[in-house]
Amino acid sequence: MKRDTTQFPLLKFRWKLSFLALVIVALAVASRAPLAGAQNQNPSASTVDGSGSAAIVYPETKRDDVVDDYFGTKVPDPYRWLEGDAGVVPEVAAWVEAENKVTFAYLEKIPFRQKIKERLTQLYNYPKYSAPMRRDDYFFYTKNDGLQNQNVWYRQKSLDGTPEVLLDPNKLSADGTTRLGAVALSKDGKYFAYGVSKGGSDWNDVYVLDTATKQLQPDHIEWLKSSGLAWQGNGFYYSRYPAPEKGHELTAKNENHQVYYHKTGTAQSADQLVYEDPANPQRFHTVGTSDDERFAFLSISERGKGKKGNAIFYRDVARVDSKFSPIVAEIGDDSYGVVDNVGDKFLIFTDHKAPNGRVFLFDPKNPDEKNWKDVIPEKPEPLDNATTVGGKLFVSYLKDVAAHAYVYSLDGKLENEITLPGLGTVSGFGGRSDDKFTFYTFTTFNFPPTIYKYDIATKKSTLFRQPEIPGFKSTNFEMSQVFYTSKDGTRVPMFLVHKKGIKLDGNNPTLLYGYGGFNITTAPNFSSLRLALLEQGFVYASANMRGGGEYGEKWHEAGTKLKKQNVFDDFIAAAEYLINKKYTSPSRLAIQGGSNGGLLVGAVSNQRPELFKAVVEQAGVMDMLRFHKFTIGWNWIADYGSSANEAEFQALYAYSPIHNVKAGVSYPATLITTADHDDRVVPAHNFKYAAALQAAQAGSSPILIRIDTKSGHGASSTTKAIEQTADIYSFLMWNLGVNPN
């Protein structure tokens, strides 16, 4: 299974199984009154901001005398009260209202803000498709006509048949903020199970649709999170948490992950409990099924105790009263995922004794590790994806972050390479064992996601569907890959994209992006919205720091726990490279990151504020001492470590963005974004960071926080995505001195 970089990661699965679904549901936020008597309490505030406008008067943010003791180190936490849910705590709701009032007043004064929004709307307004998946005679796929808030599910008989709407999520809410989360088609295509997320939350409610009649079935399942839907027979497996306390649905710690089996047409109360482990409440339990649905596979992980890997078990449902038997019984730092079964044996991906990944054949009759037979041995490049389709094994590797795809026989014989259009990202190669062809999607920074059909017998790729973006010509932009040296001598790759013919005079507005964590690869990708920056002469730089998956598990491990500072050093070195090579200068350089990337830009802004003119920090993990106390945050201990461990506390405290803001420092212009329904990285992280940064700012640049409603860890609709992007780009251009054409 391909890694999902659109959301804060839990585990890196490469499974063919239905395990991708960390998306969305929640509550509306109560109305908020402005904070009475709000006034500027920052004695060092200047009389003008970075744009030459009148000084920003920030809301008053109360400070409490809260102090925690970590191994003898006293750590103040004056804004602890901002950890309250704004939908429940009136004092927090009032602060949110007051901050938004200041932020939107600033944004509304940017003269070209509406112009940017209109251009973004134009750039996004083109049809977008997913690759089709086959069930019997029908093909299922999603399409967005252009500006629809949610993608619509279609089916059609044969590839040239007439499309018919299967499910239109845009009809699920008037404002378009209700979207689909986990989805799964039954093997025969008769039923479509889908999760519904409201307002951006990660909670899912699941429903079942009859694909022939389009009639909703009586099924309704609640409180799914960190779950896929895996069909087996006339029902499916799912994972859920016990219902949280009313009023704390978006902030309460999620514990006791349970696996259930649901039979279609029955009530949730009748669902069979398949697995739980209340003695270990911070474990993930997920179940997937093989393509032929003969086997169920249970994965158990314990990232809350700092373990990066998982245990894995199987059950043969063809056998009466079959129990889960271990493939790997103990949880450690090695990852395992079933690619598929070959008869009664299993193809399994692992990084056990292979940091770059390998695929081996597991025989349940001879389960000892000494009997594991390598099918795809480890290579110098990291194995990024492995699937089976049509009796073949499709694998992709990363070579200096660029994808390369190959076809093998099921016993590991290389048959051919699939030639890709260039340096970029490939995804797909999904399908069933009797498929004659499969689909894959290729994209890169100046190449929109394009779907190809691959014929398995002839080994030929043909263009299936290519986007048409009005006015876009890839030849107007050029992309390159460079390598630079980090602080400790490590060679780090970075992609650059910009208009052709730019001058290296140090005067180009530049946006540097990074993530650097959780074994997630920051892959070359296309964004039509990003064109709005490139058209105005921006250089877009994407750095591939340690902590990600660009060079396998060793690269990932080098940016975790006590080594997390390596990630920040890599990012700072990327900025210095861009300056030294005359792409830009500190007065024209901005940085952006979200989630773990929000932590990144917050940390480097604290460490090198003079290096950047502007910062966009989105939904970042900013309180590194308390992140594990909210919702699913304990899961990140495997990458970050924990403040409950003395050595890890010292490392966390040294870079935690909230705890390293210093009074009297001139910080870059900073726009912080979060949302009321973000129950993955709770908004309190960014509330506290904004309050600390506003109080400390000694310079003239603005410190703003934009708090969206009915949205979550990512924008909950196309409308909200365009609105947020328009505000971010307007903020960047305004503070970098760019006057759009």
Could you read off the pLDDT of 174-210 as tens digits, one per residue?
999 999 999 999 999 999 999 999 988 899 999 999 9
H or E segment and range at residue 425: strand 425-428
- Rounded Cα distance between 704 and 718, Å, is 23
Residue spans of beta strands (DSSP E) within 630-710: 669-675, 703-708
Active site residue 301: no
Of 160, 155, 287, the C-alpha closest to 229 is 287
The predicted pLDDT at position 55 comes to: 82
Of 666, 14, 680, the C-alpha closest to 356 is 14
- Kindly report whether the global pTM for this prediction surpasses the value 0.75: yes
Contact 600, 568 (CB under 8 A): yes
The predicted pLDDT at position 12 comes to: 31
Name the residue with tokens 């975790």. Answer: 560
C-alpha 373: how far from its chain's center? Answer: 34
- Provide the token pair at 313: 């078990």
Could you read off the pLDDT of 490-500 as tens digits, one per residue?
999 999 999 99
Q: Mean pLDDT, to the nearest integer, of 703-724?
A: 92
- Rounded Cα distance between 341 and 436, Å, is 19
- Rounded Cα distance between 621 and 635, Å, is 13
Could you read off the pLDDT of 708-718 as tens digits, one per residue?
988 889 888 99
CA distances from 642 to 77, 607, 631 (A): 17, 22, 15
Q: Mean pLDDT, to the nearest integer, of 649-676?
A: 97
Catalytic one among 299, 486, 595, 711? 595
Burial class (CB in 10 A: 0-12, 13-18, 19+), 483: exposed
The predicted pLDDT at position 372 comes to: 98
Could you read off the pLDDT of 24-76 as tens digits, one per residue?
222 222 222 222 222 233 322 333 344 444 589 999 999 999 999 999 999 99
266 C-beta neighbours (distance < 10 Å), count: 15
Catalytic one among 173, 486, 713, 717? 713
Query: In terms of DSSP H, where are the helices of 622-683?
Result: 637-640, 646-655
Tell me the residue type at 261.
Y
Could you read off the pLDDT of 608-630 as tens digits, one per residue?
999 999 999 999 999 999 999 99
* Conformational region of residue 348, where left means phi above 0, alpha means psi within -120 to 50, and beta covers everything else: beta
Could you read off the pLDDT of 452-487 as tens digits, one per residue?
999 999 999 999 999 999 889 999 999 999 999 999
Quick one: what percent of the chain has pLDDT higher than 70? Answer: 93
> CA-CA-CA-CA torsion for 72, 77, 78, 79, nearest 10 degrees?
-170
Active site residue 595: yes
First-to-last alpha carbon distance for the chain, in angstroms, is 42
Residue 374 phi/psi, 5° resolution? -65, 130
Residue 554 phi/psi, 5° resolution? -65, -40
Q: Mean pLDDT, to the nearest integer, of 385-403?
A: 98
Average pLDDT across the chain, whole number: 91
Contact 5, 443 (CB under 8 A): no
